[in-house]
Structure 1
Amino acid sequence: MVSGQLHSTVFGPCGVEEQSLTEISGPPNSGKSQVLQQLMAHCLAPYEYGGRQMSIILINLSHKITKESLGKAVLAELRSHSKAAEDAEEPSSESKLIEISKRCVSRVKILDCFSNDDVRSSLRKVKYMVASDSTVELIALDTLSEFFWLDHPSRKQFLSKYGFYQQWLGTLRNLCRRCLVSAMFTVDYRFLINQHGERFPPTKVTEVKMENRKGGFTLNGLPVYFKNGIKVEQ
């Protein structure tokens, strides 16, 4: 199953650890948002379809992921599992899969952001949203580095890309600890380069590195294919 394979490649056989941080980095147009969306689809799918049956809050900075695109990803996930189960039992009908995918997507709360102030406001909202809905286990954020240049002229002090990244990483780490949730996010790889020798408290992060090479896309050095879900070549 493509998404289950992707999920195991990223998180291991035990899946997403509680209060963990997962960083999907890479250059522009390297498939970061698609990987994030596919991981979300797997986490949303019901247990009986091989998923994790989670509720998710998406803090949407790049606006590449929509409920419609996520619904298609979930439906592909359900179809994949249903097709794999054909030999063992009667596969689910298409209408049933569509209805299940709609219910899965209804468990996603999307907070659209258009500035860093919106991001800060959304992260504050998350605390109250998690408190009122105990089924929320995962916060997804696409893309962490989106608004670095937007408020650059208004900053009183110099802030490097690395410093900007570390500030948001610290905020996400604290949020996960307080709310007992996990988080995964995409970020431009250039924000991970510490050019000025800046020091920040160490943070444990599961790293997913995307690249767009001449031969295609890679995830942590392994070839990946974006077609009817995401397949990772072992």
Structure 2
Amino acid sequence: MSTIVAESGAQLVARISSENRPTLENLCSDLFPDNGPPPGRIVEITGESGTGKSHFLMEIMARAILPTEYGGRDAHVIFFDLDCKFWIIRFLHILEKIACASNPDSDEKKTKEVIEKCLNGLFIFNCFSPGEYEGALQEMEELLTSDSSIALVTVGTIGAFYWVECTEEKPIKMTTYYKKALQRFRKVSNDYKVVFAFTRPDIFAPDVEKVPTTDADSPDYRIRLISHCTEEARGFEAETDARGQSYRTLFNIDNFGIKFLKL
């Protein structure tokens, strides 16, 4: 006997608008060695200050938004800038690095035209208060419904407004704040079949990995960035946990963003 599954009108619209979205699978073997991330997944990038979280997020955004012939997935991207750390010049350098490496035969003029064109698919919400962020989240769902090319939603940084919303009159535990945000991200990623990626500094909700979680309030990929300093140089390491599968990647950061190194 078959089971009838009911869905709301909003869910129907979300499902229809998501049927032709670009996929981010096989985005970059250095970023996602398991050939991910598939639609509906959540990616957390965490680490101490100065370990390259913003660079890592921009690397994912750049590889999503560039055309396929220039190393990307030809997808549109939504970015919530909550900590005012998005540097458009650095992002352009990252786009140029990936585009030139993936299509070395393209001349400089053509590459610049491609980069300028793909920026039309980048939607940036500069939010300076919890109210602005809430309004932007609502507008995001309208965008996801109207634009079936959006495959990636990014947030930097998830706890940016925690100390504004947590007051003596209304105290909120960091882990509670974190889990509620993840639950909201999960609903959006499931409804619209998009990948959600965000940054979290270690000082925000530092015990969240030790607290029992469910699929709804925990990321599918947790990428922890670590800095290694020696007398000769400073390097970085990315430890990725993808639902029990672990990966390790070494990288440096230069004027063109992330430079992955061979293990």
Q: Which residue of 2 aligns with 1:60?
A: 81
Q: Is the 8 A contact 1:6 1:232 kept in 2?
A: no
Q: Is the 8 A contact 1:163 1:198 kept in 2?
A: no
Q: Which residue of 1 aligns with 2:245?
A: none
Q: Which residue of 2 aligns with 1:231?
A: 259
Once residues 31 and 97 of structure 2 are traced to their aligned partners in structure 1, the CA distance between those partners, rounded to angstroms, is 19
Return 208-217 or 108-117, whichever deviates more: 208-217
Aligned to 1:11, the other structure's residue is in SS state: coil
Return 142-151 or 106-115, whichever deviates more: 142-151
| Identity over aligned pairs, percent | 23
Runs of 4+ aligned structure 1 residues displaced above 6 Å come to: none
Once residues 204 and 150 of structure 1 are traced to their aligned partners in structure 2, the CA distance between those partners, rounded to angstroms, is 24
Which amino acid is the alignment partner of residue 117 of structure 1? G
Q: Deviations over 1:183-217 (max 9, x none)?
A: 1010112334337x865534342011012232422
Unaligned 5+ segments in structure 1 are: 84-90
Aligned to 1:212, the other structure's residue is in SS state: strand
Which amino acid is the alignment partner of residue 97 of structure 2? A
Q: Is the 8 A contact 1:70 1:105 kept in 2?
A: no
**C-alpha spacing 1:204/1:187, structure 2 compared with 1 (3 Å):** closer
- How large is the RMSD of aligned CA atoms in angstroms? 2.2
Aligned to 1:190, the other structure's residue is in SS state: coil
Q: Which residue of 2 aligns with 1:205?
A: 220
Once residues 161 and 7 of structure 1 are traced to their aligned partners in structure 2, the CA distance between those partners, rounded to angstroms, is 32
- Residue 229 of structure 1 deviates from its aligned partner by 3.5
Q: Is the 8 A contact 2:182 2:219 kept in 1?
A: no
Aligned pair count? Answer: 221
Once residues 198 and 171 of structure 1 are traced to their aligned partners in structure 2, the CA distance between those partners, rounded to angstroms, is 18
Aligned equivalent of 1:217, options 236, 245, 249: 236
Q: Deviations over 1:170-189 (max 9, x none)?
A: 11111111222111010112
Q: Is the 8 A contact 1:6 1:231 kept in 2?
A: no
Task: Compute the TM-score of the two structures, normalised by the length of structure 1.
Answer: 0.85
Aligned equivalent of 1:128, options 120, 142, 150: 142
Unaligned 5+ segments in structure 2 are: 1-25, 240-247
Which amino acid is the alignment partner of residue 99 of structure 2? L
Return 23-32 or 185-194, whichever deviates more: 185-194
Return 175-184 or 94-103, whichever deviates more: 175-184
Aligned equivalent of 2:160, options 143, 146, 150: 146
Aligned to 1:7, the other structure's residue is in SS state: coil
Which amino acid is the alignment partner of residue 19 of structure 1? G
Aligned equivalent of 2:193, options 180, 186, 192: 180
